[in-house]
């Protein structure tokens, strides 16, 4: 007994399912595949990226670093346990108080110059316990 199917809906009907149900299952499987980059149904698929914030141990670590900066020193503040947006706000505030530049790199704040005392006072005002690391 040979059956010829003229469309996908006929084929799905032979297995007792409607074509719409079969299409929904394949779409759901395609959406859950993490390695999928492009689908002909929906186009480019953006991967969901979850950024994890490293938990703080209760101390903000402040140290001076000159490595890779041609001898110019920066103050690096790490161990805050804040999200990226909160780090940017805190960095902006610290840079204004110190009157110098700086940036947020990964989960650390870098402030140009040697202003450890000013930074320590401001971080303690914000409620952080400050620990100086290194010399």
| CATH 3.30.780.10 segments of the chain | 59-132
When pLDDT is cut at 50, 70 and 90, the band that residue 115 belongs to is confident
Lowest mean pLDDT among 35-49, 51-65, 76-90: 35-49
**What confidence score (pLDDT) does residue 2 get?**
61
**What confidence score (pLDDT) does residue 1 get?**
47
Instruction: List 110's β-bridge partners, or say none.
Output: 76, 103
> What average pLDDT does the segment 72-99 reach?
90
Task: Name the nearest CA neighbour of 109 among 49, 65, 55.
Answer: 65
Output the CATH code of domain 59-132.
3.30.780.10
pLDDT in tens, 96-114: 999 999 999 988 999 998 8
When pLDDT is cut at 50, 70 and 90, the band that residue 23 belongs to is low
């Amino acid at each position: 007994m040979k059956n010829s199917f003229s469309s996908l809906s006929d084929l799905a009907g032979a297995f007792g399912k409607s074509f719409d149900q079969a299409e929904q299952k394949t779409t759901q499987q395609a959406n859950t595949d993490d390695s999928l980059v492009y689908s002909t149904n929906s186009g480019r698929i953006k991967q969901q990226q979850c950024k994890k914030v490293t938990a703080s141990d209760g101390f903000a670590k402040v140290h001076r670093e000159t490595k890779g900066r041609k001898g110019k020193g920066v103050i690096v503040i790490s161990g805050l346990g804040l999200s990226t947006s909160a780090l940017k706000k805190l960095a902006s505030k610290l840079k204004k108080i110190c009157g110098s530049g700086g940036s947020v790199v990964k989960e650390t704040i870098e402030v140009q110059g040697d202003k450890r005392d000013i930074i320590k006072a401001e971080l303690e005002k914000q409620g952080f316990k400050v620990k100086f690391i290194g010399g």
